[in-house]
Structure 1
Amino acid sequence: MFSLTGAEISHFLLAMGCLLAMAHLLGYLAERIFIPRVIGEVAAGLVLGPTILGHFLPDTFKWLFLGFPTEDKLFGLLYQFGLLLLMFCSGLKFQTRFNREDAKITTALVIGSTIPAFIVGWFAANLFNITPLMGTANNPLAIKIIIAISIAITSIPVISKIFNDLGIMHTRFAKIVVACAGIHDVLLWVALGFATAISSQEGIFTIGTALKSIGVSFGFIIGTLVLGYLLFKRMTIIKQNILFRSNNLGYFLFIMFMLASLAGNLHVETIFGALIAGIVAKVALPKAVSERVDQGVSHLSFSWLIPIYFATVGLQLDLVRHFDPLFFLAYLMFATLTQTVAVYLTSRMVKQDPFTSFNLGLAINDRGGPGIVLSSVAYTAGIINQEFFAILVMLALVTSWIPGTWLRIIVNKGWRLMPGDENMVPLRRNDEDKIKSINKTR
C-alpha cells in the first residue's frame, strides 16, 4: 500500500543523489566566485533539467527524472517539504528587538519599499499585453497582483544567508534589512493568497470574495501569532510537554506541519503556516531555545531539502524554449530600479546618508527565495505560464546576485554599511574553515 518496488527506490535515490550533489557542487562554486549559493543550486536543475541535459540528451533526462510513473510526484513531495522548511527557517530569522530609532527606520522602509513598488508594478501591468503570460487559470486580475508582488518582494532567507556568509548578521544594517523583509513579505503573502484564491474560482471576483480572502489570511496570521505565542510561552518548556522533552526539533516540526495543514484547510497558502510557526518559535521562546531550533532545522534543511527545492525549480525551467532574454532584461531593469529608488528615497526621507540609502536599496531589492516561491506558487496555481515563470525565477536569481556581490565588496574594503556599524568586525566561520582546523590537528 505504501511501498515502492526495489527498482523504483534505487532509481529515485540515484536521481535525487545526482541532483543534490550537483546542487551542493554548483552552490559551492558559486560562493567561490562571490555569487549567492542559491544561484548555484537552481543552476543544478538547469544543468540536469530540460535546459541543458534535456536539450542535448533528452532520453537521458527522461530516464533519470521520469523513469517510472510516480517519480515526478516523489520529487514534488520533496519540493514541498523544502519549501515549507525554507519558510520555517525564514520565520526563525525574524527580528523583534529594536530601539526607537531603528524601529522608525524599519517602519519607514516597510512602507516605502512595499506600497510604492506594489502600486508601480500594478499600473505597469496595464502598459503591456499580459495575455501571453497568463497560465491555465486565465485570470488577468490574479496575474496583475503577481506582477505587483514580484516588483515589491524581498528575500529573508537569501539576504540572511548572504549576511551570515559575510559575517555581518550581528550588524545594525542586517537587523534592519531582515526585519523590513520579514514584515513586508508577510503583507505580500496575503496578496499572494488572494491571487491564488481568485484564480481557483474561475475568475469570479466580488468585493465579498476579496474581503473573505484577505480577512481569512489576516485572521489566520493574527490568530496563530497571538494564540501560538501564548501557547508556546506557557506550554513548551514544562515537564508535562512530553513531545518537547522527547525531541525538541521534532516538536517544532510537528507544530509547523499542523499550522501548514490548518492554513491549507482554510484555503490559505500552506507556506503561511510554516512561516508563522518559525516566527512564533523565534519571538515566544528563550533565545537559547530558538537558536538551538534554528541550528537544528538549518542543518537538516540546508543540507538536503532546501537545495533539492531550489534545484527542482531549475528542473522546471526550459530556458531554451521558454525564455525571452530581451523581455527579461527589460523586466529586470524595471523591477530593480523601481524597488531600489523607492527604498533610496524613503531612506533619505528618514535622514540616512546617500551611501547608506544606496546600500539599503540594493539589499532590500534581493528577491531570492521568496521571489522563487512566488513564481512557484503562481505557476502551480495556473496564474502564470512557463515563460513568465522562467522570467520571475531569473529575476529572483539576478537580484540576489547584485546585493550579494556589492555587500561582499563593502566588507572586503572595510567600508561602513550604515551609521552604527563603523567598527564592524565580520564574524565568519564556515565548513571550509572547520576542515582546515581539523587538518591542522592531525
Structure 2
Amino acid sequence: MFSLTGAEISHFLLAMGCLLAMAHLLGFIAERMFIPRVIGEVAAGLVLGPTLLGHFFPDAFKWLFLGFPTEDKLFGLLYQFGLLMLMFCSGLKFQTRFNKEDAKITSALVIGATIPAFIVGWVAADFFNITPYLGSANNALAMKIIIAISIAVTSIPVISKIFNDLGIMHTRFAKIVIACAGIHDVLLWVALGFATAIASQKGVFTVGTALTSVGISLGFIFCTLLLGYLLFKRLTIVKQNLLFRSSNLGYFLFIMFMLASLAGSLKVETIFGALLAGIIAKVALPNPVSERLEQSVSNISFSWFIPIYFATVGLQLDLVRHFNPWFFLTYLLFATLTQTAAVYFTSRIMKQDRFTSFNLGLAINDRGGPGIVLSSVAYTTGIINQEFFAILVMLALVTSWIPGTWLRIVVTKGWRLMPGDENIVPQRRNDDKIKTITKSTTS
C-alpha cells in the first residue's frame, strides 16, 4: 500500500529528471534568445515526447515514459500539482491598488477585451468545421465555448514574467495589463466551468443546467473571496495560528489544497480554488507577508512543478501526426487580430494614443499559461481531441512570443509604453544580480 518497487522509483526518477533538466535547459536557451521561458519548457516535452523522440525512436520513448503500468499516472499527478501551483502563483500576481483613472481604464479594457472577443469567437465557431476536432464528450456547445474562451483569454503568469524580465513590473502599463488579465481570466474560468459541466452531462443541456453551473461558480468565487478575506485578515498573523507559525508556506499550501478540493467537490474546476487562494493571500495579507509568500512559492514552483507541467503538456503533443499547420495559421491570425483589435479600439475609446493602444493590444493578446490550462482542461474532459489540443497549445505559445519580442523592442528603444511611463528605468530582477555576482567571482 502506498508503495512502488525500487525499480519503479528508480525508473520514474530517471524519466522525471530527464524531463526536468530538458525543460530548464531549453527554457534557459529560450530566454537567451529573448523568447518566453514557457516556450522552451513546452519544447522539452516536444523533444522527449511523440513529436521527436517518439517519432524517430518510439521504443526509447515508451521505455522512458511508459516503462511500468503506473508511470503515466505519476506524471499525471505531477502535472496536476504543477497546474495548481501555476494558478496559485497567478493569483499572487493580482493587482489591488489603483488610482481612479487607472481603475477606469482597467474596467473598460476588461469589458472591451472580453465581451467582443468572446462573441466573435462564439460566432466564428459556426463557420469553422469543428466536427473533426470534437473530443470524446462529443459536445459541440461545450466546444463552441472553448473556442470563444481561446479567443478572449489572457495570461497572467507569462506576461508577468515578461515584465519582470524587462524590469518594467513597476510601470503603470504593467499594473493595468496584469489587473486586466486577472479579472479577465476569472470571468472566463466561469465559462470554462460551464463548458466542462455540460460536457460531463453527455450533451444534456437545459436552462436549469446553465443557471446551476454558473450560479455555483459565481457563488463559490464570491463566498471564497469574502470569507477568505475576512479569515485571512483575522486569523493568519496571530499567535494562536500554530500552523502558520510552524510553516508559513505550509499554511498557505494547505489553504490552497483545501480550496481546490472544495472546488472539485462542487464540480467547479480545482484550478479555481488555487487561483482564488492566491488572490485572497495577495489582497488580505500585508505586503511584506504576501511578497515573502510569493517568493517562497515561486522558488519551489518555478524550479520543479511548473516546468514539469509545461513539459508534460509538450509530452502530450504529437505535431507530426496530430497537427494541421494551415488550420493553425488561420486560427492564429483570427485569434490575434480579434483580441488585439478589441483591446485597441477600447483603448482608443478611452482616449489613449495609437501607440499605447497597440502596446496594450499586443500585451493582452498574450495567452500563455491560461491558454495552455484551457487546452489541458478541455482535452482531459473530452471536449476537444488531440488535434485541437495541439492547435490551442501552439496558439498560446506563439501569442506569448509576440508581445515578449515587441515589448523588448519598445523598452530597448526607450519608447514610452503609455502616458505616465515616460523615461522609465528598468528594474532588473534578483536573478540578474546573481548572474553579475557570479561573473565577477569567476573572472
How high is the TM-score relative to the length of structure 1?
0.99
What code does the residue aligned with 1:9 have?
Answer: I
Shift of residue 184, structure 1, vs aligned partner? 1.0
CA distance in 1, matches of 2:273, 2:264: 8
Partner residue in 1 for 2:217? 217
Partner residue in 1 for 2:435? 435
What code does the residue aligned with 2:272 have?
Answer: F
What code does the residue aligned with 2:385 have?
Answer: N
Q: Encode CA deviations 1:176-211: one digit per residue, 9 max, x unaligned.
A: 000000001000000000000000001000000000
Partner residue in 2 for 1:381? 381
What code does the residue aligned with 1:105 have?
Answer: I
- How many residue pairs get matched? 442
Partner residue in 1 for 2:141? 141
Q: 5 Å matches for 1:133-212?
A: 133-212=133-212
Q: 5 Å matches for 1:110-149?
A: 110-149=110-149
Shift of residue 430, structure 1, vs aligned partner? 4.8
Partner residue in 2 for 1:267? 267
SS at match of 2:110: helix
CA distance in 2, matches of 1:38, 1:435: 21
CA distance in 1, matches of 2:306, 2:391: 21
1:384–1:314 distance in 2 versus 1, CA, 3 Å: same
Shift of residue 128, structure 1, vs aligned partner? 1.9
CA distance in 2, matches of 1:230, 1:79: 32
Q: 5 Å matches for 1:370-409?
A: 370-409=370-409
What code does the residue aligned with 1:374 have?
Answer: L
For structure 2, the 5+ residue unaligned runs are none
What code does the residue aligned with 1:45 have?
Answer: G
For structure 1, the 5+ residue unaligned runs are none
What code does the residue aligned with 2:105 have?
Answer: I
Shift of residue 439, structure 1, vs aligned partner? 4.5
How high is the TM-score relative to the length of structure 2?
0.99
Q: 5 Å matches for 1:39-438?
A: 39-431=39-431, 433-438=433-438
Identical counterparts, % of pairs: 84
CA distance in 1, matches of 2:62, 2:393: 23
2:260–2:271 Cα contact (<8 Å) kept? yes
Shift of residue 436, structure 1, vs aligned partner? 3.2
Shift of residue 429, structure 1, vs aligned partner? 3.0
What code does the residue aligned with 1:279 have?
Answer: I
Shift of residue 435, structure 1, vs aligned partner? 3.5
SS at match of 1:393: helix
Q: Encode CA deviations 1:103-137: one digit per residue, 9 max, x unaligned.
A: 00000000000000000000000012111110000
SS at match of 1:403: helix
CA distance in 2, matches of 1:435, 1:230: 41
CA distance in 2, matches of 1:192, 1:351: 33
2:414–2:423 Cα contact (<8 Å) kept? no
What code does the residue aligned with 1:139 have?
Answer: N
2:50–2:315 Cα contact (<8 Å) kept? yes
2:164–2:429 Cα contact (<8 Å) kept? no
What code does the residue aligned with 1:341 have?
Answer: A
What code does the residue aligned with 2:155 have?
Answer: S
Across the aligned residues of Structure 1 and Structure 2, the Cα RMSD in angstroms comes to: 0.8
CA distance in 2, matches of 1:162, 1:335: 21
